[in-house]
Structure 1
């Protein structure tokens, strides 16, 4: 008896509607950081205050991440996406309204960035859970590559569009942003597949802190996820440190802001191409094989970074890494999505993201210190050694080595909700 091939995702109307909303939301999110940065500097003339507004988004996202995941596991996922999109639209709209009244303040912009970070913490786990419901297991790899592509589109298009609109009018990017968030909410609202809150067992925890703890314990007790998160911590620490050292060194050596902007655009374009190619790779090779090969390729490529301080050399190596990394993110992300039960999607996703990203601030923050006190080459080699540790860990993990091709995920069981 032959198996019927699944309907292509492009012909899955609810997936198209959900993804359409997510793409629009990603562009809006990509616009916000640049828009608030430019507006804050225009208002205050202070780079420090502009930096604080930029940091406020990350603070909000980090602070709300774990509670948001637990609440997403209590709430209807479609309603969560719609309401969050509308709230983001309202928050963004307060800035042009204040501009029309002549009452924009630094505190207002700081609050907008902080609240946006908090609200964005609900979008990712709710969208992740929605994809798990709408997409068949054997197509999760394809869906994950699309997720990588839309993130790349948002980071590539959003800042450039924001800068262009800022030249038209200082609050025009935020007007546009509010409209985009509202359109994203409409896209989420048009999804017809029910996305209800998971059924809760009679003995399920009722306190928010207990539910957050359940998510963290589930990640720890589920061996493949635990290995991924641990390796992600080391990888984020090392990779962010390397690129921060390289960029700070370029700034120190006199590269103008336009050059840094072009470098960032090149890295974003490479990530987009990598996301588009990742699906082909993941259908032919085991996710475990791809993960090990890409991480060791990163070690080799970034170990070459000290050979030249040239922006062309930094850009070439950075683009090569950006081209390869989406395949790992998509493959590992799809596997995690498949093995995580619906009742744990919000908490597990938020807990994994929170823990794996916990070392990023240290990697970025220490980069400047190491560059100033040790110099460019020792700082880069220090972070490369940490990256090699990630390579050793991923090679040693049986749980990661044995992850199959994404089209074979349907044969894999889910982890127990209680792990």
Structure 2
């Protein structure tokens, strides 16, 4: 077995623990992608309301807003493997209740929304543990390639799974497709159990209490706010998430009313799959981008591309133009996401990994995603689908402007954590 020339570790594709961690993420991503297409369609068909459909995107981001800080402290305190497995099993029960209720004839819009919320809440705790588990498995020097391997194949799934789900929706009720997500959580739990590496470092913490957890949360938040690079990446993540959530919240009525492709079939699936193409390219290019440019510079180069592509998507009525622009938007958007995650993991000390990463995700994804979904649903009622799309996606321009005025403009390297 050959080893990495710089770290002495086996290549990632031969690292058994990384393969299991990678598998856990991929099967979970595949199931989640099915839900990402099927759940808003389910709510849209049950209610016929764009505003209620937008709530699907809201319940995806709201758990991070509510539980992000606490989940990071919990993940840094408890055994990360146990947190991940319990979260997977609870998610399987929550999302699996939807097809069961459908078969029993008692499914309602609110049941579907609550199940989506509970599932995402469980994932927040899973994510907090996973952010710390990955450096424990691969080491800090291999975080860039590891994240690209995880997100790159995830982007391949982004490409194929939504299109497949769109085709299946022509023959199957969307509630039945959610059973796939339930099975994926069970498979993820099994893969995590099989990881041999220790996923948590030694802990010397006071007995758990509300005060102790609050103190630990404050330490993580203070690190994030004091670190110029992590702080700037978090603000950019907030603005990008707000913009992306606005699009996703209105994506079903956008495809139906503005592009005229309906809510099923290959063209409907292609609207979602276009992001996957962009994600695959981003995962391929981002490690090369990091070798040529510092991570702050890579973020600054991708932001204007993301802003322009998003505006094209929001303003066009052409299916072909929308898909092409969405690919470009996906490349730039995912490049920023990958860079931000890797930067934060490399810059954060081990004992703070869960808190800092979930705090960053809470502020960028939780607050940003929730605000974007709420804003899109509210503005759609005032300006219509097109007006709301343009308004919310324009926030990407603000992200680019902020980035070029932020400390990222002068930062060159990732500071090594103490």
CA distance in 1 between counterparts of 2:23 and 2:407 reads 37
Q: Does structure 2 conserve the Cα–Cα contact (< 8 Å) formed by 1:22 and 1:150?
A: no
The one of 359, 363, 371 aligned to 1:355: 363
Partner of 1:81: 84
Structure 2 spans left out of the alignment, 5+ residues: none
Shift of 1:238: 4.8
Cα pair 1:29 1:154 within 8 Å, conserved: no
Deviation at 1:55, TM superposition (A): 4.0
The answer to whether the 8 Å contact 2:79/2:200 transfers is yes
CA contact under 8 A between 1:140 and 1:334: conserved in structure 2? yes
* More displaced stretch, 147-156 vs 14-23: 147-156
Q: Following TM superposition, by how much is the alpha carbon of 1:230 offset from its aligned partner in structure 2, in angstroms? A: 1.9
Distance 1:253 1:151 in 2: 28
Alignment partner, residue 230 of structure 1: 235
| TM-score, with length taken from structure 1 | 0.81
Query: 1:369 maps to which residue?
Result: 379
Matched, 1:179 2:183: yes
The verdict on how the C-alpha distance between 1:135 and 1:37 changes in structure 2, with shifts beyond 3 A counting, is same
SS in structure 1 at match of 2:191: helix
Q: What is the match of residue 21 of structure 1?
A: 24
Residue 216 (structure 2) aligned to one of 211, 216, 236: 211
Residue 140 in structure 1 maps to residue 143 in structure 2: yes
Which residue matches 2:305? 297
Of the candidates 308, 322, 341, which is equivalent to residue 330 of structure 2? 322
| Stretch of structure 1 that moved more, 73-82 or 194-203 | 194-203
| Counterpart position of 2:71 | 68
Cα shift at 1:56: 3.5
TM-score normalised to structure 2 length: 0.81
What is aligned with 1:345? 353
Summarize deviations over 1:88-143 as a string: whole Å, max 9, x none. Answer: 22333334444555544445433322211210111212111110111122211111
Aligned to 2:195: 191
Residues 147-156 or 49-58, more deviating: 49-58
Q: Give distance in 2, aligned partners of 1:99 and 1:246.
A: 24
Structure-2 change in CA distance of 1:5 and 1:283 (3 Å):
farther
Change (3 A) 1:19 1:309: same
Taking the aligned partners of 2:213 and 2:148, their CA distance within structure 1 comes to 32
Aligned-residue offset at 1:266 = 1.8
Classify 1:154/1:123 alpha carbon distance in 2 versus 1 (closer, same or farther; 3 Å). Answer: farther
Say if 1:246 and 1:314, in contact at 8 Å, map to a contact too. no
Aligned to 2:344: 336
Name 1:391's counterpart in structure 2. Answer: 400
Which segments of 5 or more consecutive residues in structure 1 lack a partner in the other structure? none
Distance 1:49 1:366 in 2: 13
Contact 1:270–1:323 (Cα < 8 Å) also in 2: yes
Give the Cα–Cα distance (whole angstroms) in 2 for the partners of residues 327 and 114 of structure 1: 27
- CA RMSD, 1 decimal: 3.7
Which structure would you say has the larger Rg?
Answer: 1
Could you say if the C-alpha distance between residues 402 and 250 of structure 1 is closer, same or farther in structure 2, counting changes exceeding 3 Å? same
The one of 279, 282, 288 equivalent to 1:271 is: 279
Q: 1:30 aligns with which of 21, 33, 40?
A: 33
Secondary structure of 2:199's match? coil
Which stretch of structure 1 is more off in the superposition, 238-247 or 149-158? 238-247
Matches within 5 A, 1:21-170: 21-39=24-42, 44=46, 46-47=48-49, 52=55, 55-99=58-102, 101-163=104-166, 167-168=171-172
